[in-house]
Amino acid sequence: MDIITNVTMKGENYVLEITTHSAEATKDVGFKLGRLLKPGDIVCLEGNLGVGKTIFVQGIALGLDVEDYVTSPTFNIIHEYNGRIPMYHMDVYRLNSVGEMEDLGYDEYFYGKGVVVIEWAEKIQQIIPEERLWIKGETIGESTRRFVFKPSGERYKTLIEELKIR
């Protein structure tokens, strides 16, 4: 099996762990998540360079029926994609301060009608709405990755429950 799922509950903390053994499997997990996302959802991605954040986002985009090829918006900060739901893909790696997000009008994205996906979300955590899905990626081996899903809010708990059974 290429994807391994493990769900743990520690008190109120509900965590879903998914281990993938290839880039294609990572993209497939993103696709399955993308199929479940709704307008207003916020997905935060954290992890080192090379963990597969952009590949994961490419899968989300496919799940949202985005036809354009998704690349990391490292130099533009935000790419907008049209699909069955608009997707706003942010890569905040190059930001020096949270104030730079204010210059970009982030509120329009966070409280808009699309899905927001943020790479390097830990850099702007203090301005991201409290209800969100946080996903931390870890490199386990050459092609093995672990993604830990931590929901904040009932919507996101339901979302990872649905993802778990797919």
The tens digit of pLDDT for each residue in 43-91 reads 999 999 889 999 999 999 999 999 999 987 667 788 899 999 999 999 8
Determine if residue 33 is left, alpha or beta; phi over 0 gives left, psi from -120 to 50 gives alpha, anything else beta.
Answer: alpha
How much is the pLDDT for 108? Answer: 86
Measure the CA–CA gap between 95 and 112, rounded to whole angstroms.
22
How much is the pLDDT for 103? Answer: 75
How much is the pLDDT for 74? Answer: 67
How much is the pLDDT for 11? Answer: 54
How much is the pLDDT for 78? Answer: 87
How much is the pLDDT for 1? Answer: 42
Determine if residue 86 is left, alpha or beta; phi over 0 gives left, psi from -120 to 50 gives alpha, anything else beta.
Answer: beta
How much is the pLDDT for 105? Answer: 76
Q: Are 3 and 29 spatial neighbours (Cβ–Cβ below 8 Å)? A: yes
How much is the pLDDT for 6? Answer: 66
Domains detected in the chain: 3-164 (3.40.50.300)
The segments of the chain whose pLDDT lies below 50 read 1
